[in-house]
Structure 1
């Protein structure tokens, strides 16, 4: 086994001659394409679109939606499209720090930088007078939300009404993430298997520094879940998890179910979904989408809307 490991590392060293990729300008990494929320914040963030809500507007549910690692606000756009002209709730699509820009912005951002815009939008909404705020996350967006809950962030802020987690990445399916500290400096980066369309909304190249940050975050949250914590009073949580997932191991849902309780000690809701997709609620730009995938998305969106407005 030791000889195999040595050979593996040697092979990595041989292929990792250039630690910086050749970046095409027509990908998100290139610094030409940017997430549109950066220059049209009022289209994506309720705090910018309506900074002075009326009393009635302040009571209307606002869902703060957080995308995953290497992604962008695009990951939650289908929920907004599905909601259409509904006026019974609003959506804030938050761009995580270091995302949606260029390769170097992504490379140099820590997981706390990723998380910071979530807190900033939450606090802007709170300070503007909104009183019915909920959180939704996909993949690593779930992980940054769970970290906020575990460290007691909401003890100093109003509690979210709902926390809705789609394919939370607490236990990554790719176990090579555990080796990133060893192989990362040799590789410099890894390439994502994106479609051409996805390269405009997800990073094609993932610097090893960001993978180290991801590993740190998931390890921290996994430890929090193993120790266990309770939600703030008045907060409900639901997990929607694909049964087959090449990115986030389904055991992530088990850990959340065991590790998180409501304020009165009750179990949180978990729904296992008959899907092979990671972030099954995002279907646009995928190479193959089945009628079952469409049905899974619709059912999840309907359930989210019901939980927000009941």
Structure 2
């Protein structure tokens, strides 16, 4: 017992050492998404990002064209799916809706005050808007935290039978790799926020500071989804789901993929698709703005994109 208490104290000390001491971050408004000058471009020009807005009256061909609702992860923005849009524009006949999670892409304060249910809301808004306009081939591609958000929608029945043809989960987070996050409920009020090591370009598209309130929301979300998976449930009829998971991931523990594979089944009870990727990156589908990207990373990204487009073309 004494050794466990010692380890816990060391973890707490390490956590406090690696995080901020002030509850209010020093935000550079001109260079960080956290400020009040840089916002996600989808807020200015939604027609460039949302199919439901860009095509006012879809014709029959458009209604039957695959539409992918592409959703980013916690603290990120629509930028996370730019590369998939560019690749699909050049290699396939599909439509892509890049959805900005609620509370994201705006100021630090708006992010701090948002809940995971706020994050989830725009997914359903775009899904419902596409359904109302008559689109028949709706699909979903989510990275990291977008994955538990859509898994929760499936469990609740908000996405029903034949509601989505394909669902692609990229590095879903159900178990975080950073086990220190389990202490955020205890230490969060003391530390206020965690500072990241984003590159200068990433600071434009990702929050540099992560408020403890949002980290608590993240933990609440994945805890709920984990319990749902432990109880088990099935996909809607007519829906195919595939998980792509890096074998080494600093954000989402690979066990996350195992929990999804064991807890979520196809409607007929058969196993869902799962592919473990020989990658050390979290969300290999986004390479831009990263440092030290290798040719292997690019090959893996291309493989995942090609695989997704293959399923979308069926």
Give me the TM-score of the superposition, normalised by structure 2.
Answer: 0.94
Q: Deviations over 1:80-106 (max 9, x none)?
A: 111234562110000000000110010
- Quick check: 1:126–1:158 contact (8 Å CA) kept in 2? no
CA distances 1:232-290 after superposition (whole Å, capped 9, x unpaired): 00000000000100100011111111111111111000000000000011100111111
Q: Which residue of structure 2 lines up, in the alignment, with residue 252 of structure 1?
A: 256
CA offsets 1:71-127 (integer angstroms, 9 cap, x no match): 000000000111234562110000000000110010000000000000000001011
The answer to whether the Cα contact below 8 Å between 1:16 and 1:186 also exists between their aligned partners in 2 is: no
Does 1:265 pair with 2:269? yes
169, 173, 184: which one aligns with 2:173: 169
Q: Structure 1 residue 3: deviation in Å?
A: 5.5
What's 1:279 paired with? 283
Hey, what does 1:90 align to over in structure 2? 95
Q: 2:162 touches 2:238 (CA, 8 Å); kept in 1?
A: no
SS of corresponding position for 1:154: coil
By how many angstroms is 1:17 displaced? 4.7
Tell me, in whole angstroms, the C-alpha distance in 1 between the residues paired with 2:54 and 2:6: 59
Residue aligned with 2:159, SS:
helix
Distance across 2 between alignment mates of 1:46 and 1:89: 11
Displacement over 3 Å in runs of 4+: 1-13
Residue 158 of structure 1: CA displacement? 4.9
TM-score, normalising length from structure 1? 0.96
Q: What is the CA distance between 1:31 and its match in structure 2?
A: 1.5
Q: How does 1:128-143 map to 2 (within 5 A)?
A: 128-143=133-148
User: Does the 8 A contact of 2:20 with 2:195 survive in 1?
Assistant: no
Is 1:99 the counterpart of 2:79? The answer is no
Q: Distance between the aligned counterparts of 2:90 and 2:285, measured in 1?
A: 19
- CA deviations on 1:194-233 (whole Å, 9 max, x unpaired) are 1111000000000000000000000000111111110000
What pairs with 1:92-241 in structure 2 (closer than 5 Å)? 92-155=97-160, 158-241=162-245
In 2: Cα distance, 1:244 partner to 1:5 partner: 25
User: 160-169 vs 16-25, which deviates more?
Assistant: 16-25
Which consecutive residues of structure 1, in runs of 5 or more, have no partner in the other structure?
A: none
CA distance in 2, matches of 1:3, 1:241: 34
- SS of 1:84's equivalent in the other structure is helix
**Structure 2 residues not aligned, in runs of 5+:** none
Q: Which residue of 1 aligns with 2:23?
A: 19
Aligned pairs, how many?
Answer: 309
SS across alignment from 1:240:
strand
Classify the secondary structure of the residue corresponding to 2:241. Answer: strand
Residue 51 of structure 1, aligned match among 34, 45, 56 = 56
Q: In structure 1, how many angstroms separate the alpha carbons of the residues matched to 2:218 and 2:313?
A: 33
Aligned Cα root-mean-square deviation (Å): 1.8
Does the C-alpha gap of structure 1 residues 300 and 17 become closer, same or farther in structure 2, counting only changes over 3 Å? closer
Q: Give the CA deviation at 1:56.
A: 1.4
